């Protein structure tokens, strides 16, 4: 029998051919799957651009169920959720995504998304999930062209601390939008860095009363031994808002240098400033302020009248008992009547309710 070398060669190389063929099939199959995934992602992006968010989200959801490692699809779903305003769900999805992968560039890219709703939402997501570059990203967003994004960034930075955070918040104190400026002042109070005092004193020149109120509260909170000289210099400032804010902070430390500016504060146009000043004078125990506080019993603002009444009681001003009795019986505002009655009782413990009847 003739020996067939062709058969021998075929039998020898057949396993190799099978391996090569199988590899080619798998390679082509994987290539098809990758091509299909890319096509779905392209379609989803196109749908998002046309604001067909539900269709895009559902297609991406199917892709993720088929391939749990389709992280890019999850990232697009997060963008869709932010567009819808479903920030909490977006945060949960991002937390799960971060546990499975390292979405290094996602935040950097999304913070520059064309949609301001997405940029604002990603600021909240960053603040809540606290990635390592959070302060950098939020600082950048605090100078965004959209006010809602800037506000979200400033509010997000309130969760962090450090010199870079303080500097970014100080920059936000001069934002063109008053809500951003107010949020920045509130965030600086929460930050608790005494070095912010100078910038906050400058903010007392703001045209918006609520911004000044937030800055004033921050100034009272931030005073300490390291910045006393800043506050004392501010007592000589040409603007009454600056002087009174500094005085209120110094009054917290029982500093008598504040008295002159506090007297001035009782005549301020800002009613919240008159209220704060009346409380500060009572806390200082300054009896020389009693005549001015008696005048405040007829202030046009109800809260000022109520605060003046209680401050006079705290300062033991027996002379004002008659005025307090009249106020307790005739003021049109219930909270003022109650405060005046309480003050009257403190000054005249033996007085009866008959004495508080309308005069």
Mean pLDDT of 1-7: 53
Do both 226 and 341 map to the same domain? Answer: no
**What confidence score (pLDDT) does residue 229 get?**
94
Average pLDDT of span 163-174: 97
8 Å CB contact between 151 and 173: no
Q: Identify the domain boundary among 262, 284, 306.
A: 284
Render pLDDT for 6-48 as a digit per residue (tens, 0 to 9): 555 546 555 655 554 454 444 434 444 557 778 888 888 889 8
What is the mean predicted confidence (pLDDT) over 146-161? 97
CA distance 231 to 198: 8
Same domain, 113 and 204: no
Total Cβ atoms within 10 A of residue 104? 10
Longest dimension (CA), the chain: 139
Closest by CA to 79, choosing from 97, 67, 102, 100, is: 97
Residues 102 and 177 in one domain: no
**54 and 146 belong to one structural domain:** yes
Residue 241 lies in a domain: yes
Q: Does residue 342 contact residue 310 with C-beta atoms inside 8 Å?
A: yes
Backbone torsion region of residue 162, taken as left when φ is above 0, otherwise alpha when ψ lies between -120 and 50, otherwise beta: left
User: What integer is the mean pLDDT of 46-74?
Assistant: 89
Cβ-based burial of 337 (10 A; exposed 0-12, middle 13-18, buried ≥19): buried
pLDDT in tens, 73-127: 899 999 999 999 999 999 999 999 888 876 768 999 999 999 999 999 999 999 9
Shared domain check, 276 and 194: yes
Average pLDDT over residues 235-256: 92
Residue 294 shares a structural domain with residue 359: yes
In a domain, 173, yes or no: yes
Considering 137, 160, 183, which residue would you say is the last residue of a domain? Answer: 160
pLDDT of residue 38: 84
Does residue 12 lie within any of the structural domains?
no
Please compute the mean of the pLDDT values over residues 243-270 and round it to a whole number.
Answer: 91
Q: How far apart are CA 345 and CA 285, in angstroms?
A: 19
Angle at 244 between CA 248 and CA 296, to 5 degrees: 90
State the average pLDDT for the chain. 88
Q: How far apart are CA 319 and CA 347, in angstroms?
A: 9
| Tens digits of residue pLDDT in 301-317 | 999 999 999 999 999 99
pLDDT at position 66:
83
CA atoms within 13 A on the CB side of 86: 14
Instruction: Report the alpha-carbon distance of residue 78 to residue 97 in Å, rounded.
Output: 10
Residues 156 and 200 in one domain: no
The pLDDT of residue 190: 96
Q: Same domain, yes or no, for 266 and 297? A: no
- Coil/strand/helix, residue 108: helix
The C-alpha atoms of residue 191 and residue 79 are separated, in whole angstroms, by 30
Query: Of 187, 102, 199, 105, which is closest to residue 139 (Cα–Cα)?
Result: 187
Asked, for residue 275, whether it belongs to a domain, the answer is yes
Per-residue pLDDT band at 69 (split at 50, 70, 90): confident
Cβ neighbours of 270 (radius 10 Å): 18
Any long-range contacts for 38-45 (C-beta under 8 Å, 24+ apart)? 40/73, 41/72, 41/73, 41/76, 44/73, 44/76, 45/76
- Name the 3-class secondary structure at 312: helix
pLDDT number for residue 25: 41
In the predicted model, what is the mean pLDDT of residues 186-201? Answer: 97
Short-list 198, 174, 173, 195, CA closest to 185? 173
Same domain, 147 and 253: no
**Tokens encoding 102:** 């390292």
258 with 251: CB under 8 angstroms?
A: yes
Above pLDDT 70, what percent of the chain? 87
Domain for residue 74, yes or no?
yes
CATH for 264 = 1.25.10.10
Assess if residue 186 is contained within a domain.
yes
Which residue, of 266, 284, 302, is where some domain finishes?
Answer: 284
Same-domain pairing of 219 and 263: yes
* Total count of domains within the chain: 3
Residues 6+ apart with CB under 8 A from 192: 161, 221, 222
Domain identity same for 94 and 190: no
Q: How large is the average pLDDT for residues 223-246?
A: 94
User: CATH number, domain at 308?
Assistant: 1.25.10
Higher-scoring residue by pLDDT: 272, 31: 272
Shared domain for 176 and 274, answered yes or no, is yes
Mean pLDDT calculated for residue range 194-208 = 97
Rounded Cα distance between 250 and 244, Å, is 10
Q: For residue range 304-355, list pLDDT tens digits in order.
A: 999 999 999 999 999 999 999 999 999 999 999 999 999 999 998 755 544 5
Mean pLDDT of 135-142: 96
Whether residue 145 is predicted with pLDDT greater than 80 in this model: the reply is yes
SS3 at position 236? coil
Q: What is the CATH number of the domain that holds 54?
A: 1.25.40
Which domain, by its residues, includes 57? 40-160
Is residue 22 one of the residues assigned to a domain?
no
Report pLDDT for 85: 94
132-160 burial: b if 16+ Cβ within 10 Å, else e: eebbebbbbbbebeebbbbbbbbbbbbbb
Burial of 225-249, coded b for 16+ CB within 10 Å and e otherwise, reads eebbebbeebbebeebbbbbbbbbb
């Amino acid at each position: 029998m003739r020996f067939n070398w062709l058969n021998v060669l075929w039998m020898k190389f057949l396993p190799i051919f099978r391996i090569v063929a199988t590899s080619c099939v798998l390679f082509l199959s994987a290539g098809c799957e990758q091509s299909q995934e890319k096509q779905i992602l392209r379609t989803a992006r196109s749908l998002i651009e046309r604001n067909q968010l539900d269709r895009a989200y559902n297609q991406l959801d199917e892709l993720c169920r088929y391939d749990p490692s389709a992280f890019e699809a999850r990232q697009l779903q997060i963008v869709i959720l932010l567009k819808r305003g479903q920030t909490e769900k977006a945060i949960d999805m991002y937390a799960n995504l971060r546990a499975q992968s390292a979405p290094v560039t996602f935040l950097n890219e999304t913070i520059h998304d064309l949609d301001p709703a997405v940029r604002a939402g990603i600021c909240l997501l960053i603040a809540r999930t606290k990635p390592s570059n959070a302060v950098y990203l939020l600082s950048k967003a605090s100078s965004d062209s959209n006010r809602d994004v800037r506000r979200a960034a400033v509010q997000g930075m309130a969760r962090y601390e450090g010199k870079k955070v303080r500097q970014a918040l100080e920059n936000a104190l001069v934002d063109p939008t008053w809500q951003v400026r107010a949020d920045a002042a509130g965030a600086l109070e929460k930050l608790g860095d005494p070095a912010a005092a100078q910038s906050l004193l400058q903010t007392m020149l703001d045209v918006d009363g609520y911004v000044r109120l937030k800055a004033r509260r921050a100034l009272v909170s931030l005073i300490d031994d390291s910045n006393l000289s800043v506050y004392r210099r501010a007592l000589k400032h040409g603007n009454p808002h600056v002087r009174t804010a500094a005085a209120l902070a110094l009054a917290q430390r029982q500093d008598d240098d504040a008295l002159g500016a506090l007297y001035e504060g009782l005549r301020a146009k800002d009613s919240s400033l008159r209220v704060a000043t009346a409380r500060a004078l009572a806390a200082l125990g300054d009896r020389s302020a009693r005549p001015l506080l008696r005048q405040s019993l007829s202030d046009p603002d109800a809260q000022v009248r109520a605060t003046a009444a209680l401050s006079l009681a705290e300062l033991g001003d027996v002379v004002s008992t008659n005025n307090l009795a009249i106020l307790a019986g005739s003021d049109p505002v219930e909270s003022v009547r109650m405060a005046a009655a309480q003050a009257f009782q403190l000054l005249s413990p033996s007085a009866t309710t008959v004495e508080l009847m309308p005069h």
